[in-house]
Structure 1
Amino acid sequence: MAIATFRMIPLVVVAAMIGVPVAARDDGRYANSPLKGWFESLHSKAGGPCCANADGTALDEVDWDTRSGHYRVRLQGEWIEVPDDTVITEPNRAGRTMVWSYYVNGRAVIRCFMPGSMT
């Protein structure tokens, strides 16, 4: 019975590692962009920099809108209301709608949101 237990240890370790969340980081793909400094300076009223842990995601127009006076975004097929204190109110120099999110227990949490044009 002890040998069977030892054979199960690698399986248990692999199963545990699959469920470990991975922290997102700036992957460097915009390192040479002339807007890099501007992106890094963005902060929401919710606190903390938008680009602290991850690059933002540009959204297609079908993946964001307004409802009852609030923005909402579609991430991983789910519509999420954007908290007002995460909305970036300065002019959008990138032009595209952007969202910075992170995940807690598999659910998206909005760090920052910057609307683009709805044309």
Structure 2
Amino acid sequence: MKRLKTAGALIALAAVFAGSATARDDGRYANSPLKPWFDSLRSAKGLCCSDADGSVVSDVDWESKDGHYRVRLEGQWIDVPDDAVITVPNRAGRTMVWPVKGATGISIRCFLPGSMI
């Protein structure tokens, strides 16, 4: 029974890391003047990583309603948790999201609203 619990725990841990393994800085933006700003971005959930980890979201794929955001990823609308919203001014000007894929689906670690013009 103990072996079964250990195996289950390892499988769950692997699923968590598999979702985050695809999100890493590959150096494409190392010389960008905004890199230090991106690296410092954080929501209440923690650091958001960097520009290479986030995804730009088109204006038609996000919206604000009743003071809350939602974003369309992979064809489905996902509510952005309030604690995932980045509250500093958007120096990049474009809407970005830092999704995390896990065993239960997609969750949002960070969301940086754009201007929606």
Q: TM-score, normalised by structure 1?
A: 0.75
Q: State the structure with more CA Rg.
A: 1
Contact 1:101 1:108 in 2 (8 A): yes
1:30 — aligned with what? 29
The whole-number CA distance in structure 2 between the counterparts of 1:43 and 1:69 is 20
- Structure 2 residue corresponding to 1:79, chosen from 74, 77, 80: 77
Report which structure shows greater RCO (CA 8 Å, sep ≥6): 2
What is the Cα-based RMSD across aligned positions, in Å? 1.7
Contact 1:27 1:55 in 2 (8 A): no
Amino acid at match of 1:85: D
Contact 1:30 1:36 in 2 (8 A): yes
SS of 2:43's equivalent in the other structure is coil
Post-superposition, which runs of at least 4 consecutive aligned residues in structure 1 deviate over 6 A? none
Amino acid at match of 1:42: L
The whole-number CA distance in structure 1 between the counterparts of 2:113 and 2:83 is 13
Question: Size of the alignment, in residue pairs?
Answer: 98
- Between the aligned residues of both structures, percent identity stands at 63
Q: Which ranges in structure 2 are unaligned for 5 or more consecutive residues?
A: 1-14
Q: TM-score, normalised by structure 2?
A: 0.76
Q: Which ranges in structure 1 are unaligned for 5 or more consecutive residues?
A: 1-19
